[in-house]
Structure 1
């Protein structure tokens, strides 16, 4: 079972009204998008994280690992927004804070006025939305999410795509972990050269295994006379 599924079924909020959890999460995501107050965003992020860890009982180490991956991409994106750089003979412009210009190739780097605040606000908005989404997926099993979507009268095609996408994400991680573990047991990542070779093999084998799992699932659905609806109690 995928670790997210395990947390979703075993957390302290798993038996709460799923409609309430979905509404709260969507409202928090919407508030993250429309709100630009740094202090409010920080409060929302802290509230989401504390509620998920201490309220729902999600292990701290696992949660930190899950949120660290998108946080790294956010930091890289914010860096590109905050700093302005390029090539020019003269670096002089209004609302531009000059930091450094290198004589070689006339390369310069600097800060535009308001770029730090804009970058920080955008990063906090994104992190707040991610924390709100994590609260939903870590406290609400997929079966409960389907019930809420059916109550909301969402199109059947959307629900089908959602479930199949969710399932294939689980298959992807399951196969990737199995292949990676097998490679590690054979010292496939003992050095840089072996790591690159093992990574290439992992990608190739992963693609083949996922396509096979897809065909197997398709055959199973046909045997069970799948009509496009995922039935839940």
Structure 2
């Protein structure tokens, strides 16, 4: 499953031994800077730097990274197309009124707005993928506990994270069994088979929850799960690289204020 591949990449990437605090600071700060930017150049600069770090420092496969970008980029492009058509503006390049209450147009202002939104999405997704591909969830749970996040929130997140993978595995096994039995050979059969898959997955997840509760009781669960993540020290070279990146990105945000495509 692709979700398992993400965790595998996070566990084996080239930045695995780098401090989790530094990687979170880089990703979250990049998102904030993308939101603060008023020009399109700064988010593109952030996306370029973080993508280079993912591909060269973390040594993530280019195809994996591109596949991860494909789905959010597709949604972003559709959203940008809508923004361009309905935003309006003074400098009109194309206009169409298909209905009395609906006017579609392409203007200089709408193109600038749509391109700016697209660049923000690209920059933010690069930051999120940087965190996802370089930081395993176990390390994030450790950071959450260090940051004094309530224990019940961490435990709930750990249970949800475990249940996601269990449910995906159950759905995959049930689906493959149905395909081998020609459960999706026709439209009627597909509807019936899909309903059976949903019901079976629900029952399996319910049983898994009961098993988890009994296992927790057997191990004298007292309201706090044990965490297996590692505490890695903050080293000088990664810290200097982070500081240099944040200074450069902040300078790009200030220097490119209001920059537009057209």
Q: Work out whether 1:228 is the aligned partner of 2:230.
A: no
Shift of 1:154: 2.1
Shift of 1:116: 2.1
Shift of 1:197: 5.2
Shift of 1:205: 3.0
Q: Which has the higher contact order (CA 8 A, sep 6+)?
A: 2
In the alignment, which residue of structure 2 is the partner of 1:207? 202
Q: Work out whether 1:43 is the aligned partner of 2:45.
A: yes
Of 13, 16, 31, the match for 2:15: 13
The answer to whether the 8 Å contact 2:171/2:201 transfers is: yes
Cα separation, 2, equivalents of 1:40 and 1:94:
24
In the alignment, which residue of structure 2 is the partner of 1:99? 95
The answer to whether the 8 Å contact 2:91/2:109 transfers is: no
Of 126, 135, 140, the match for 2:130: 135
Q: Deviations over 1:161-212 (max 9, x none)?
A: 3323322332333233333333444455567666555544433433333233
Q: Is the alpha carbon distance of 1:124 and 1:226 closer, same or farther for their aligned partners in structure 2, counting shifts above 3 Å?
A: farther
Q: Is the alpha carbon distance of 1:197 and 1:46 closer, same or farther for their aligned partners in structure 2, counting shifts above 3 Å?
A: farther
Shift of 1:100: 2.5
5+ long unaligned stretches in structure 2: 229-262
Shift of 1:143: 1.7
5+ long unaligned stretches in structure 1: 86-92
The answer to whether the 8 Å contact 1:84/1:112 transfers is: no
The answer to whether the 8 Å contact 2:84/2:114 transfers is: yes
The alignment's C-alpha RMSD in Å is 2.9
Shift of 1:59: 2.1
In the alignment, which residue of structure 2 is the partner of 1:22? 24
The answer to whether the 8 Å contact 2:95/2:105 transfers is: yes
Cα separation, 2, equivalents of 1:60 and 1:183:
34
In the alignment, which residue of structure 2 is the partner of 1:70? 72
Q: Deviations over 1:84-140 (max 9, x none)?
A: 29xxxxxxx8627342344x8786421355222222222322232222122112211
Q: Is the alpha carbon distance of 1:217 and 1:79 closer, same or farther for their aligned partners in structure 2, counting shifts above 3 Å?
A: farther
- How many pairs were matched up? 225
Q: Is the alpha carbon distance of 1:100 and 1:3 closer, same or farther for their aligned partners in structure 2, counting shifts above 3 Å?
A: same
Taking the TM superposition and a 5 Å limit, the aligned residue runs for 1:152-167 are 152-167=147-162
